[in-house]
Amino acid sequence: MKDENCIFCKIANGEIPAATLYEDDDFRVILDLGPASKGHALILPKEHYANLYELPDELAAKVIILAKKMITKLTGVLGCDGYNLVQNNGSAAGQTVFHFHLHMIPRYEGDQVGLGWKMGELTDADRDEILAKLAE
């Protein structure tokens, strides 16, 4: 299924040009037009799924295997020092395009790419509440 109004559907299916790093029957991997660092790329499924909740398990498994292959190769190409894999679900999580996509962000020592958060503390009450609700 494609969403004719979705820009990522159009890019993933070749209707809009992109710097394609890899393509197969399920996915297109492109360079991000607004990169966090040199070599920042996106894995886009060719079918439309708004987020990870909608992505079928089989494709979810394939996307992580593809990410591993891509970052393994790109680490050598780019000479980066590490990688972040980032996947946002919903506006509250920073998702701005509602077509599942996985960011592969190369990291370079001292690059100052801002992906951090303020560390909190797991309280006994929060732990107990989450564990109890999950067991229901």
Residue in 115, 111, 117 with CA at minimum distance from that of residue 37:
111
Q: Are strands 20-23 and 27-31 parallel, antiparallel or unpaired?
A: antiparallel
Determine the 3-state secondary structure of 31 from DSSP.
Answer: strand
Q: Which of 40, 48, 101, 103 is catalytic?
A: 101
- Write the single-letter amino acid at 36: A
Distance CA 73, CA 77 (A): 7
CA terminus-to-terminus distance, the chain: 34
* C-alpha 84: how far from chain center: 9
CB 117 within 8 A of CB 93: no
99 as an active site residue: the answer is no
Determine the 3-state secondary structure of 61 from DSSP.
Answer: helix
Could you give the residue numbers annotated as active site? Answer: 101
